Chains A and B, each alone.
Chain A
Amino acid sequence: MSKQTITVTVNGEAYTEEVEPRMLLVHFIREKLSLTGTHIGCDSTSCGACTILMDGKSIKSCTMFAVQANGKHFTTIEGVAQNGQYHPLQEGFKEEHGLQCGFCTPGMIMRAIELLDKNPNPTEEEIRWGISGNLCRCTGYVNIVKAVQYAAKKMAEAPKEKGALNEV
């Protein structure tokens, strides 16, 4: 089947590539763009390890074809730190021990970015509902919730750090 040319912007950089229509976006990001921070943890749209932002909204990149991404703007975990500074969520996961093996972490962070963007001061329950599409086999979630709370607090103190990412 013939290939199609797509142009997508990832972490502020535009890429033009030829892809087979059946190529999943997550494979495009990992294999064509060599951005391997976005993980694949399942075959059933269940785990959320592949979560990235599309035009600011969190999506599961294993359940979209790369051709559907033409013209869209994405942020992956590689684009989250700014000017050598961790994003408050990255800092939160580090400070609160929000990870053990780390496999789920990129997806958790990308999901939590949108969560805090829509709801800057979530309750614990709202955080738990908010990350219900992301599975973690290690932590038991307690420290992940704490990491998101840490970031919410930090971002409330320095609100401009929140806006920076959305311009990417």
Chain B
Amino acid sequence: MIPAAFEYFTPSTLSEAIALLEEHGDEAKILSGGHSLIPMMRYRLASPEKIVDINGIPDLEYIKEEDGYLKIGGLTREVALEDTPMIREKYPLLYDTAVMIADPQVRNLATIGGNIAHGDAANDHPATMLALGAEVVATGPNGERVIPIDDFFLGLYYTALEPTEIITEIRIPVADGNSSGTYKKMERKVGDYATAAVAVQVTMNGSGPAKVGIGLTNVGPTPIRAKRSEELLVGQPITDELIKEAGKLASEDCAPTADLRGSEEYKRSVVSVLTQRALKTAFERALSS
């Protein structure tokens, strides 16, 4: 279908973009990869009057370790996460997440900033960012603001971002030799959004984990942190019973609704199984690294 008409702006600096967002307020939408926004515009689920295309802003595409953080520029494309050896080696959770998103053509354009800003619980990065304990750097009229990921997702398509703010960076604590993770996603077919998915990141201290992050995708209006499962595991020697119990708690703590992808009961069961599988893989990887 043909989207509704709009006026199109291509700012070439961050401050120019923010000024446009301030000027046009609610009428304006940021366009980055366009792979959530344009589909919504084609279906006329969104009809912004002004589009502020931020692709011309320089220096927002990067992946680097600096000051104790893995820093990812807001305009970084999924394909860059896939193709950067450091991500695959040190942050396998991020790699496993990126390769499961849509398909290669979509990943050539879709951005990590857009994936998070969209506030869609069906997107894969939000749960991963919960598991990784990320921070979102938002730049607006008053400069930069750092938002902890636990304060970021407020509801369906609703985040802590102001309409005048642009996600310029994602920060993730640098992984050390004792940490690893994985993303397990159940999808009906390649490229589909998750029926349910589970992100796990662990940091080991001897035979037990010092830190556990577990994020759940598409089983509630926002991505969900499986807090009770995390707490159950921290500081405990890993056993099959404990992992099983963590899966059970996660399946209780999510809030799926029935849809074409399955019933509520089915989705809870998927969460339990995927949580156990993801924990096993994450522990194995962390202990062998």
A interface residues (Cβ-Cβ under 8 A, vs B): 1-2, 4, 20-22, 24, 43-46, 48, 51, 57-60, 63-65, 67-68, 70, 111, 114-115, 129-130, 132-134
**Chain B proximity of A65: nearest CB distance (Å):** 7
The one of B2, B39, B109, B191 that contacts A22, using a Cβ cutoff of 8 Å: B2
Q: Considering only CB atoms, which chain A residue lies closest to B83 in the complex?
A: A118
B interface residues (Cβ-Cβ under 8 A, vs A): 1-8, 10, 31, 34-35, 38-39, 41-43, 51, 53, 55, 79, 102-106, 108-109, 190-191
A63 pairs with B34, CB closer than 8 A: yes
Pairs A–B under 8 Å by Cβ, sample size 12: A4-B8, A21-B5, A22-B3, A45-B106, A57-B79, A58-B108, A63-B39, A64-B38, A68-B31, A68-B53, A114-B104, A132-B103
Extra contacts, 14 of them, besides A65-B34, A133-B103 (Cβ < 8 A), are A20-B5, A21-B5, A21-B6, A21-B7, A22-B5, A48-B103, A59-B109, A63-B34, A63-B106, A111-B104, A115-B104, A132-B190, A132-B191, A133-B104
Q: Considering only CB atoms, which chain B residue lies closest to A115 in the complex?
A: B104
A114 to B55, CA, bound (A): 22
Contacts A1-B6, A63-B39 given: A46-B105 contact, CB under 8 Å?
no
**Chain B proximity of A43: nearest CB distance (Å):** 6
**Chain B proximity of A88: nearest CB distance (Å):** 20
**Chain A proximity of B1: nearest CB distance (Å):** 6
Across the interface, which residues of B come within 8 angstroms of A4, CB to CB? 8
The one of B8, B10, B39, B104 that contacts A45, using a Cβ cutoff of 8 Å: B39
B34 pairs with A64, CB closer than 8 A: yes
Across the interface, which residues of B come within 8 angstroms of A1, CB to CB? 5-7
The one of B53, B108, B191 that contacts A59, using a Cβ cutoff of 8 Å: B108
Across the interface, which residues of B come within 8 angstroms of A130, CB to CB? 104
**Chain B proximity of A98: nearest CB distance (Å):** 18
B103 pairs with A57, CB closer than 8 A: no
**Chain B proximity of A95: nearest CB distance (Å):** 25
**Chain B proximity of A76: nearest CB distance (Å):** 14
Q: Considering only CB atoms, which chain B residue lies closest to A64 in the complex?
A: B34
A60 pairs with B106, CB closer than 8 A: yes
A133 pairs with B3, CB closer than 8 A: no
Across the interface, which residues of B come within 8 angstroms of A2, CB to CB? 7
B190 pairs with A65, CB closer than 8 A: no
A2 to B42, CA, bound (A): 19
Greatest chain B CB density within 10 A among A44, A65, A114, A134 is at A65
Q: Considering only CB atoms, which chain A residue lies closest to B189 in the complex?
A: A132
Across the interface, which residues of A come within 8 angstroms of B108, CB to CB? 57-59
Task: Pick the 5 closest A-B CB pairs, nearest first.
Answer: A133-B103, A21-B8, A1-B5, A132-B190, A133-B105
